[in-house]
């Protein structure tokens, strides 16, 4: 069976390009709760519950607000929750830069956050120059992963078919719609490997897997 060429390496941002232990997403979670408490006038326990329901039902708190609370300005929300000092949580990762440089595919970021947050994170890590594009939540019309419509828009924007792409994510539920569209899926830092193509302990380990996948496709071609 002949297989298509790989062209795009698509990365989730948060807790994929830096480890969960950095604590950055935890702090963003605290700010999401605080936003809901202050802007929807909710007690803390109800804000926490609402955030959980939005996450389960809509993918993200942002998507929940967009769908259920047209009175809330999504831009004000996004600015508020990402307004923190990144250098307190993450730092330069030269080894990651070297790894990205060594992989001959076009790299893009696909994030439920904003392009501003993504640029700030990439700058602190020192890998901003490695990415051809950042597809943020605005560019897919405030639709959040894992809604399949977000992935369809992503493919449209970069001009690719699913089977030309690898998606790298720390959340298994965000990989499943990608797999359904034909993308090769790599899960970082999780044991929940049953439904994805590859599982790796950390981001630096994706290089081997990507090389294996590229080889697999080359072999597929020669076999006709």
Nearest to 45 by CA among 56, 36, 55, 54: 36
| Residue closer to Mg ion (CB basis): 27 or 163 | 27
Task: Answer yes or no whether residue 12 interacts with Mg ion by CB under 5 A.
Answer: yes
14 binds Mg ion (CB under 5 A): yes
Cα 45 to Cα 62: distance, rounded to the nearest angstrom: 18
Q: Please name the residue ranges forming H helices in the chain.
A: 24-39, 44-58, 61-68, 74-81, 94-102, 115-125, 148-158, 172-180, 206-222
Instruction: Answer whether 58's CB lies under 8 Å from 173's CB.
Output: no
Shorter beta-carbon distance to Mg ion: residue 3 or 20:
20
Answer for which of 158, 170, 178, 185 binds Mg ion (CB under 5 A) is 170
DSSP state of 167: E
147 binds Mg ion (CB under 5 A): no
Q: Which region among 15-23, 97-105, 191-199, 205-213 touches Mg ion (by CB under 5 A)?
A: 15-23
Smallest distance from Mg ion to CB 17, Å: 9
| 213 counts as binding Mg ion under rule CB under 5 A | no
Number of residues interacting with Mg ion: please give it, by CB under 5 A.
5
Cβ-based nearer residue to Mg ion, 69 or 138: 138
What is the helix, strand, coil percentage profile of the chain, to 5?
55, 10, 35
- Shortest distance, position 4 Cβ to Mg ion, whole Å: 26
Q: Do 167 and 185 touch, CB atoms closer than 8 A? A: yes
CA distance 46 to 107: 40
Based on the shown chain and the rule CB under 5 A, indicate whether residue 136 belongs to the binding site for Mg ion: no
Residue 82 CB, nearest approach to Mg ion (Å): 14
Q: Which of residues 16 and 33 has its CB atom nearest to Mg ion in the complex?
A: 16
- By CB under 5 A, which span of 11-19, 38-46, 59-67, 115-123 interacts with Mg ion? 11-19
Q: How many CA atoms lie within 13 A of 87 on its CB side?
A: 3
Question: Which chain residues interact with Mg ion by CB under 5 A?
Answer: 12, 14-16, 170
């Amino acid at each position: 069976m002949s297989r298509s060429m790989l062209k795009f390496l698509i990365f989730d941002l948060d807790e994929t390009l830096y480890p969960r232990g950095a604590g950055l997403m935890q702090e963003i979670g605290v700010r999401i709760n605080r936003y809901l408490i202050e802007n929807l006038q909710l007690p803390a326990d109800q804000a926490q519950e609402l955030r959980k329901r939005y996450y389960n039902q809509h993918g993200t708190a942002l998507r929940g607000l967009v769908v259920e609370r047209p009175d809330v300005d999504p831009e004000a929300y996004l600015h508020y929750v990402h307004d923190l000092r990144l250098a307190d949580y993450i730092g330069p990762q030269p080894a990651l830069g070297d790894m990205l440089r060594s992989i001959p595919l076009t790299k893009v970021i696909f994030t439920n956050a904003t392009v501003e947050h993504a640029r700030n994170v990439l700058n602190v890590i020192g890998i901003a120059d490695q990415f051809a594009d950042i597809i943020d939540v605005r560019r897919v019309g405030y639709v959040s992963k894992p809604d399949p419509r977000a992935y369809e828009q992503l493919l449209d924007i970069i001009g690719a078919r699913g089977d030309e792409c690898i998606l790298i994510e720390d959340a298994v539920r965000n990989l499943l719609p990608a797999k359904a569209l034909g993308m090769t899926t790599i899960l970082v830092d999780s044991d929940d490997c049953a439904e994805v193509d590859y599982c790796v302990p950390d981001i630096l380990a994706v290089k081997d897997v990507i090389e294996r996948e590229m080889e697999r496709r080359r072999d597929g071609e020669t076999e006709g």
